[in-house]
Structure 1
Amino acid sequence: MKLLVLLGLAGSLWAQHPPSVVVNLNLSPEERWKPLEKAFDMNTLRKIAGKVIESQIPKWMHHAVIPIVASLEKYIPQPYAGEIRGIASMMKTNISDVIILNFAYEFTAYCTSIVAQDKNGNVYHGRNLDYPLPVLRSLTMDVVFLKNGKVAYVGTSFAGYVGLWTGMSPHKFTVSADQRVTKRRGNGWRNIMSAVLFHSSPVSWLLRETLEEAKDFQDAVMRLAKKPLISGVYYIVGGVRAGEGVIITRDRKGPADIWPLEPLHGGWYRVEANFDHWRTPPPSDHRREVAMKAMNAVGRNRINGHKLYQVLSKPPLCHRNTIYTTLMRAANPREYITFVRPEGCPYKIN
């Protein structure tokens, strides 16, 4: 299988592409992520994982939560429990550390996502994922999930992490998740542990499950809107037909708002940048304003993947904490492409 062709990684846009890892869903969960050993050095992965954990929780708290996390393993559903166990074995590290690593990524995914429809009804979807750890650029990967020898879905993630914040189900839909910033966020680790005990889903697990199980765009929207989550989030979903684009604003128990494309009334694109679209962002955050101005300048007649990349490259949409940019179009899966952003986020076009 020619993964470079499948994922559309041969393009004219300037950037570094991440490695591709193939995960065979027909294998046992413990064996699925073995290809990581060929794509990444396990010693380096272990060291970087330690940095991620150290940056997210104080050392004293890390030691305090280890026995709790060990008990939490009983409550982690399959296939994630098995996959985490297999990754821990490959990394030759404590399973508690891999569990903590996976939940640590649920905290600080500050992002910008845009879904747009052109004049012919083609739907484009792009996202920047921002994270305040530059070392994650070296762990970014595109993942091809195979089932019965065929591509079930693709996504972009970090080595050692079993969830997805970005992905596509070919010929069905695309989806990205952006963290929802609210005034009352609570105690993150306490919320995560109690939520898992009560069978709420991490944001990234629900996204991945939806990619694997949803039949089409409408089914994906229903799943992403209704299942209980451990925290609020924005799910941005793009389909294959005209009008299939939506931003779902999630509370833990269900949808707070569903904001669809309305191309007949001027709403040919939607922008999400970590704040509710009906509220004014903080004075220091100009991403929404810049994105809308740039999209209006491009216009519905000219929007395409190349133009969307340029929009997402504009500061402050792309900045020193931007780890990667992904462009995707479910109607043409070859247009799924990820760029690892160098620090400073230059956006030179060859």
Structure 2
Amino acid sequence: MFSPVIGVYTGIRPGAFSLSVNLRGPRDHKIGLVENLIMTFAGYRELSWLTREALTECDSFDCAYHKIRDTPISALGYVILAGTEGDEGVVVTRNRLSVAHENHLNATAGKWYVVQTNNDHWDSGCFNRCAAATDHMESVGQENISPAALRHDVEEQFPNLNYITIYNSQLVPSAGYIDTVAEKYEGEQPEAEKKYKWHEGLPRDPIDESLFEGLDDFTMDDLIGGVQMLIEEAVAHFEG
């Protein structure tokens, strides 16, 4: 999908499950970047490599779920996993060595969909893009939902379609269906732009901030701090 990436960010195992990876930002840009690099060089899987393994090695939702949930990884992320049976749907919010949160479908409780953008809704609340998607899903309703309605009435509505959207994928594992289209938002929904500050809640805000900003004054103390946090996280994980 992105040259020269060999991992998979969006994929489907027909008749079994589908998955998609969403960006989750580190606690601090400088320290977070160092932590990611250390974990990668230490041999931990990059998340898109893990999802590729799940797609090639697993033939069931349960297998993919446990692999995504339990395997240590090099960086944070959200994994949206869907199956073919009732309530086989979950957003797994990953820390590097553990799960931060799981958001499951629960039809019995009236939870027929889950929404995930780029922030921890279970901690910071559902706002802007999350709130817009929720409003649009409720407007469509469970009885009227379809791939076409989901794309046109939810995913292609601002702010879920916005200035940095590059593609849209829909996956239905029970039917082996996958459809991906290129997207480009050019400001054609001005009323919605007045309502939502679409970039709030992104891991990098404002959006033009460089991921590497501040690295020119990166010090050995920063490196040591990153290593110490990783050690503390690992100790807490294995002691727990």
Classify the TM-score, shorter chain.
Answer: 0.7 to 0.9
Query: How far is 1:212 from its partner?
Result: 0.6
Distance 1:180 1:229 in 2: 13
TM-score (norm 1): 0.51
Query: How far is 1:322 from its partner?
Result: 0.3
The aligned residue for residue 225 of structure 1 is 69
Q: Does 1:261 align with 2:87?
A: no
The aligned residue for residue 160 of structure 2 is 317
The aligned residue for residue 212 of structure 2 is none
The aligned residue for residue 296 of structure 1 is 138
Query: How far is 1:264 from its partner?
Result: 1.1
Describe the superposition over 1:112-162 as per-residue Cα deviations: whole angstroms up to 9, x where unpaired.
xxxxxxxxxxxxxxxxxxxxxxxxxxxxxxxxxxxxxxxxxxxxx123221
Q: One-letter code of the match for 1:341?
A: E
The aligned residue for residue 207 of structure 1 is 51
Query: How far is 1:166 from its partner?
Result: 0.7
Distance 2:37 2:184 in 1: 35
CA shift in 2, pair 1:185/1:228, >3 Å: farther
Query: How far is 1:170 from its partner?
Result: 0.9
Which SS does the other structure have where 1:301 is aligned? Answer: helix
Describe the superposition over 1:255-278 as per-residue Cα deviations: whole angstroms up to 9, x where unpaired.
111211011111100000111121
Q: One-letter code of the match for 1:295?
A: M
- The gaps in structure 1 that reach 5 residues or longer are 1-156
CA shift in 2, pair 1:182/1:159, >3 Å: closer
**1:113-152 to 2 correspondence within 5 Å?**
none
| Sequence identity (%) | 27
CA shift in 2, pair 1:304/1:230, >3 Å: same
Describe the superposition over 1:198-245 as per-residue Cα deviations: whole angstroms up to 9, x where unpaired.
221111111111111112001101000111111111110000111110
Distance 1:345 1:222 in 2: 41
Which SS does the other structure have where 2:44 is aligned? Answer: coil
Distance 1:272 1:300 in 2: 18
Aligned with residue 129 of structure 2, among 287, 294, 297: 287
- The gaps in structure 2 that reach 5 residues or longer are 190-240
Query: How far is 1:340 from its partner?
Result: 0.3
Distance 1:188 1:234 in 2: 16
Distance 1:203 1:345 in 2: 32
Q: One-letter code of the match for 2:83?
A: G
Q: Which runs of 4+ in 1 moved over 4 A?
A: none
Q: Does 1:173 align with 2:13?
A: no
Distance 1:198 1:210 in 2: 21
Q: One-letter code of the match for 1:322?
A: T
Describe the superposition over 1:279-331 as per-residue Cα deviations: whole angstroms up to 9, x where unpaired.
2359xx60000000000111111111111102100101011110100001001
Q: One-letter code of the match for 1:224?
A: I
Would the aligned equivalents of 1:170 and 1:332 in 2 still touch at CA under 8 Å? yes
RMSD, aligned CA: 1.9
Distance 1:220 1:324 in 2: 24
TM-score (norm 2): 0.73
Query: How far is 1:187 from its partner?
Result: 3.2
Aligned with residue 114 of structure 2, among 248, 270, 278: 270
Would the aligned equivalents of 1:313 and 1:345 in 2 still touch at CA under 8 Å? no
CA shift in 2, pair 1:182/1:266, >3 Å: farther
Distance 1:262 1:180 in 2: 24
Q: Does 1:249 align with 2:93?
A: yes
CA shift in 2, pair 1:342/1:197, >3 Å: closer
Q: Does 1:216 align with 2:69?
A: no
Aligned with residue 172 of structure 2, among 301, 321, 329: 329
Q: One-letter code of the match for 1:291?
A: A
Distance 1:328 1:167 in 2: 8
Distance 2:95 2:19 in 1: 18
Would the aligned equivalents of 1:318 and 1:345 in 2 still touch at CA under 8 Å? no
The aligned residue for residue 219 of structure 2 is none
Distance 1:167 1:247 in 2: 15
Query: How far is 1:192 from its partner?
Result: 3.0
More strand by share: 1
Distance 1:257 1:273 in 2: 14
Which SS does the other structure have where 1:270 is aligned? Answer: coil
